[in-house]
Amino acid sequence: MGNSVRVENLRKVFEGRGGSGQVVAVDGVSLEVKDGSLVTLLGPSGCGKTTVLRMIAGFETPTGGEIYIGDERITAVPANKRRTSMVFQSYGLFPHMSVYDNIGYGLRIRRVPAPEIRDRVFSMLDLVDLKGTEARLPSQLSGGQQQRVALARALITEPRVLLFDEPLSNLDAKLRVQMRQEIRRLQQRLRITSVYVTHDQDEAMTLSDRIVLMHRGRIEQVGTPQEIYNRPRTLFVADFIGKGNFLAGTVRAVDGGRAEVEIPQGRLWVSTEGFHPTDPVWLLLRPEAIALGPPGTGRWQGHVAAATYLGSEMFYDVMVGGQSLLVKVVHLRGVGLLGSGDPVGVLFEEGSLHLVGREAAS
Ligand SMILES: Nc1ncnc2c1ncn2[C@@H]1O[C@H](COP(=O)(O)OP(=O)(O)OP(=O)(O)O)[C@@H](O)[C@H]1O
Ligand SMILES: [Mg+2]
């Protein structure tokens, strides 16, 4: 069990000020973060990610439900006794304190002797690759360096659980990619149980052992990045993660783990479970699962309506029987590029198809 985090049926209702009504921010969330693993809470703005994180940290009191670290029920334990550490988007560094004092802060308030603080601060500086900056003020560091100070300050107290709330949002795109790799490397090296809040799907994909996808205070799906991408359970998940083509269809037959789906372009068999004949469904076809061939090849015939050049890849809008399909093609130095109006054959494999439920009459 170690330092796993377990949340059971967690709820948070904010009472509106002056009778302005209630906000159900978190509506029955249960999840487990295994000891030493990293789980991201992913979802659109306002879905309740930060509120869940703040309840785990003890900054917010749950309206209902329980929180455990390992075997210990911590729902009513004060924040400063939980041995969790939070890393914020805004870094939260003390502007008038040196890097050294910022990192050592948590030990000073715990009255750790100065020589030990010194040793531990220097080993942290080493860990986050900031040796030589200890005398500087935060304003004399780059954004990425400031975030590393924040990380060192969170780690120095040896928390049981590390909590991150959009820690990289203030960094530019390139630095964000670099920092998320650093965070992942550090987290795996220290095997520290971590909960990471983000609304950035790429960040969630690259960092996570598991992703918890939230929507309106509830969990839509929990799974590994691959499960979430390849086997989304709902339209919301399929649409939130990556790009997709959604074709409205109806199940016509089922047979041992497969379903036959009718869409305007014809009928197709799809590996799936849990659907029944007459069920309305969305057939999901990812843009990279489609290939384009010469006219006459493949399952469907169409023509290119638009082509977008993105350097290493092309995005085509291909019209097939009145429906537009997005197709992603990785190309080699412009070989075989297609242009608007070109006729094409549309190719894909049955194994790349996926079904999610569709509300009837939508
Ligand atoms: N102190 C508060 N009082 C009232 N409502 C709040 C409070 N804190 C959050 N909320 C509401 O609870 C809901 C969830 O907020 P939360 O901050 O958890 O969302 P989030 O998923 O972290 O969003 P974002 O990606 O924008 O940070 C929102 O509707 C928000 O307006
Ligand atoms: Mg938030």
Query: At 301, which CATH number?
Result: 2.40.50.140
Cβ of 4 closer than 6 Å to ligand 1, yes or no, is no
261 and 290 housed in the same domain? yes
Q: In angstroms, rounded to a whole number, what is the distance separating the alpha carbons of residues 355 and 362?
A: 16
The pTM of the full predicted model, rounded to 2 decimals, is: 0.91
pLDDT score at 16: 78
80 and 172 housed in the same domain? yes
Q: Which of 205, 235, 265 is a domain's end point? A: 235
Q: How far apart are the first and last CA of the chain?
A: 45
Cβ of 59 closer than 6 Å to ligand 1, yes or no, is no
- Measured from the Cα of 41, ligand 1's closest atom is 21
Measured in Å, residue 49 CA sits from the centre of ligand 2 at 6
204 located within any domain: yes
303 and 341 housed in the same domain? yes
Q: Which of 203, 235, 267 is a domain's end point? A: 235
231 and 339 housed in the same domain? no
- In terms of Cα–Cα distance, which of 271, 273, 251 is closest to 261? 251
Q: Which of 235, 261, 294 is a domain's end point? A: 235
362 located within any domain: no
CB 195 within 8 A of CB 53: yes
CB atoms within 10 A of CB 107: 20
Tens of pLDDT, residues 258-281: 999 999 989 999 999 999 999 999
pLDDT score at 78: 97
Protein residue with least CA distance to atom 25, ligand 1: 45
- Helical (H) or strand (E) element with 116: helix 114-127
161 and 123 housed in the same domain? yes
- In terms of Cα–Cα distance, which of 116, 196, 126 is closest to 157? 116
CB 87 within 8 A of CB 33: no
pLDDT score at 362: 45
- Provide the angle, in degrees to the nearest 10, between the axes of the packed helices 99-108 and 114-127: 130
Cβ of 186 closer than 6 Å to ligand 1, yes or no, is no
Long-range contacts of 253-257 (CB under 8 A, 24+ apart): 253/277
Instruction: State the total domains in the chain.
Output: 2
286 located within any domain: yes
In the chain, which stretches have pLDDT less than 50? Answer: 362
Cβ of 199 closer than 6 Å to ligand 1, yes or no, is yes
Kindly give the pairing relationship between strand 218-223 and strand 210-215. antiparallel
CB 179 within 8 A of CB 171: yes
120 located within any domain: yes
- Residue 165 class from Cβ within 10 Å (0-12 exposed, 13-18 middle, 19+ buried)? buried
Measured in Å, residue 52 CA sits from the centre of ligand 2 at 9
Cβ of 154 closer than 6 Å to ligand 1, yes or no, is no
Residue located via tokens 């699962």: 289
CB atoms within 10 A of CB 185: 10
63 and 183 housed in the same domain? yes
Q: In angstroms, rounded to a whole number, what is the distance separating the alpha carbons of residues 290 and 347?
A: 6
Dihedral (C-alpha) 149, 155, 157, 161: value to the nearest 10 degrees?
Answer: 140
94 and 219 housed in the same domain? yes
Q: In angstroms, rounded to a whole number, what is the distance separating the alpha carbons of residues 319 and 54?
A: 47
Cβ of 23 closer than 6 Å to ligand 1, yes or no, is yes
Protein residue with least CA distance to atom 11, ligand 1: 25
311 and 254 housed in the same domain? yes
* Nearby residues of 142 by Cβ (< 8 Å), 6 or more positions away: none
Q: What are phi and psi of 194, to 5 degrees?
A: -135, 140
Q: In angstroms, rounded to a whole number, what is the distance separating the alpha carbons of residues 132 and 135?
A: 8
Tens of pLDDT, residues 198-257: 999 999 999 999 999 999 999 999 999 999 999 999 999 999 999 999 999 999 999 989
214 and 128 housed in the same domain? yes
* Nearby residues of 223 by Cβ (< 8 Å), 6 or more positions away: 210, 211, 231
Range of the domain at 272: 243-357
pLDDT score at 19: 66
Q: Strand pairing partners for 259? A: 254, 270
89 located within any domain: yes
Report which bound ligand comes closest to the CA of 164. 2
